[in-house]
Amino acid sequence: MLKQFLPNEYVKSIFSIDPAVLKAKGVKGIITDLDNTLVEWDRPYATPQLIEWLEELKSHDMKVTIVSNNNEKRVGDFSNPLNIPFIHRAKKPSRKAFKRAVREMGLSREETVIIGDQLLTDVFGGNRAGFYTILVVPVAQSDGFFTRFNRMVERRIMSKFKRRGLVKWEE
């Protein structure tokens, strides 16, 4: 059961993810979380560095969909200026939003990766749905109210992974 929370890959930030490497692996699409994955949970818009990374994805013919548990206003205000499709109130770790996103992108699970900052929502949901999952270090050290509880649980899970030698990543 614990392995359902183990990401396939873990990186310091989304900027450590090279679109050319993903494309070489046959990846054509990315489903990404928003808050504390792409930007801080309280930052309303994309940073210039993020915009550049998203443009690089497009230059590699990668499709991107944001899947977030946040409300429509938050996710839409962020996604619409970037012309990125999104699914709000995704109820992650439910698999439904991930399956909908991949269907709307016209891709298969094998052609899509899930990127997120939380084990309990992004990684667990992605693994349960059969996707390749990439965990990133949260962009901000602070979290919204509900995420703080998840972080306590995640620290315990990560500590077990570290003791078993399954991860070497430091926060």
Enter the tokens of residue 165: 């030698």
Q: Count Cβ atoms within 10 A of the Cβ of residue 141 and give its class: 0-12 exposed, 13-18 middle, 19 or more buried.
A: exposed
String of b and e for 51-82 (b: at least 16 CB within 10 Å)? eebbeebeeeebbbbbbbbbeeebbeebbeeb
Task: List Cβ neighbours of 73 (8 Å cut-off, separation of 6 or more).
Answer: none
Tokens of 26: 């046959």
Q: What is the pTM (predicted TM-score) of this model?
A: 0.88
Per-residue pLDDT of the chain (171 residues; tens, 9 = 90+): 678 899 999 999 999 999 999 999 999 999 999 999 999 988 999 999 999 999 999 999 999 999 999 999 999 999 999 999 999 999 999 999 999 999 999 999 999 999 999 998 999 999 999 999 999 998 877 555 666 667 677 777 777 777 777 776 554
Which overall architecture, per CATH, does domain 2-163 show? 3-Layer(aba) Sandwich (3.40)
